[in-house]
Amino acid sequence: MSEPHHVVVIGGGFAGLETVHRLAGADVRITIVDRRNHHLFQPLLYQVATASLATSEIAWPIRHLFRRRSDVTTLLAEMIGIDTTLREVALSTGETLRYDTLVVATGATHAYFGHDDWEPYAPGLKTLEDATTVRRRILLAFEQAEAETDAARRAALLTFVVIGAGPTGVELAGTIAELARATLPEDFRRIDTRATRVVLVEAGPRILPGFAEDLSRYAHEALQRIGVEVRTGAPVTACTSAGVSIGPEELPAATVIWAAGVRASPAGSWLDAPVDRAGRVQVEADLTVPGRPNVFAIGDTASVMDQDGKPVPGIAPAAKQQGRHVAATIKRRLAGDKAPRPFAYSHAGSLATIGKRAAIIDFGRVKLKGWLAWWLWGLAHIYFLIGVRNRVTVALSWLWIHARDQRSARLITQRDLRQPDLKNADQGEPARPASAPP
């Protein structure tokens, strides 16, 4: 009796898990490989970073998700190489997996556009570790400001800079402003957290460039109403332990968050495949790697074009659609249908929230903004969460924040040795690590 067709899926994000989910019932055995043991709902990662949600509310163990699927094996490991001739994947554990079909969905990380030295001072937001690091830095800044006697250093501690005004940057800036102005004022005695300065920096001419111009303008005005300073048309030119430079202006700031761009994993070099400027694999119309019909690249790993020749956005619904396409292709091949079929992307709309009572939604012909868009944004995100318990707890957390302006995840749980120390910053060189409570 022959072995079932072996599908190896590298990456437990939206694209990879959707592929596995849609292969249920097929005559295959599946191995999922991920360097973390959990699937992460990235659209709400910023809410962990801003103390609105706990980590357990937006992440789920991959093994648990497929505990009733005997055809699925989950491995905690990192892929270190691919041999497409032998059809083998080398893992960090020393194991080698042989595949019949390989699905590479290894995602993306932060891109600093040639300024990787900025990363210690401006962490990005892609993983749970990133989110807890950002949350720790935000909360520590308020704690250090409470103990600071020098007015200039206290002002810098109460200045937060978000670089990049896509959806993540806008959502971060809006939530930090609300945290400072609505949640924290009664918690401190020596500082007025309402004096916090939140600066959103965008090198382009407007924020949220992927949205219609009228929605972008509404978001800009809504951010200003809740106290966010929006800087457009001027890129950050320097980032150090002392703060940032926006053109010729130096802005002292203890907390800087990077939301300006991403680059793909090194899948292109693993596969010896063509890549775009962001390192994404330039796939064929059916999402296979050029010259390798048994290898698919999907999600943030791949550069995918829609039916009109426009880039498919790197968002969760697009990744899930690609996973469904790959699973359907594998099933057709097992049934003897080898004809390639192009991936057809269906855009379900773009969403972004600006605060707890304002959001924008762009469905194409239909555009919404304000409180109705905020409720629809919330319902859409709750719908895509995994499990009834998580949907209920997230919904209750949001209702509590909406009604009482209280966020329950304001815990400093780890020591951050890279926390900027403005007292010891010197000409942009790395500062001595600040003291932080455990």
Would you name the residues annotated as active-site residues? 171
Tell which residue, 202, 200, 199, has the closest CA to residue 210: 202
Tell which residue, 18, 263, 9, 424, has the closest CA to residue 432: 424
Residue 240, burial from CB neighbour count under 10 angstroms (0-12, 13-18, 19+) = buried
Instruction: Tell how many helices (H) and how many strands (E) occur in the chain.
Output: 11, 25
**Cα–Cα distance measured from residue 265 to residue 268, given in angstroms and rounded to the nearest whole number:** 8
Q: Which residues pair with 31 in a beta bridge?
A: 8, 73
Q: Which tokens sit at 350?
A: 């773009």
Size of the chain, expressed as the number of residues it contains: 438
Tell which residue, 183, 141, 145, 187, has the closest CA to residue 160: 141
State the CB neighbour count (10 A cutoff) for residue 366.
8
Tell which residue, 217, 58, 206, 187, has the closest CA to residue 127: 58
Q: What are phi and psi of 220, to 5 degrees?
A: -60, -50
| Furthest-apart CA atoms within the chain: distance in Å | 77
Residue 309, burial from CB neighbour count under 10 angstroms (0-12, 13-18, 19+) = exposed
Amino acid at position 417, single letter: L
Amino acid at position 234, single letter: A
Contact at 8 Å (CB) between 352 and 219? yes
Amino acid at position 337, single letter: D
Alpha-carbon dihedral 141, 144, 148, 152, rounded to 10 degrees: -20
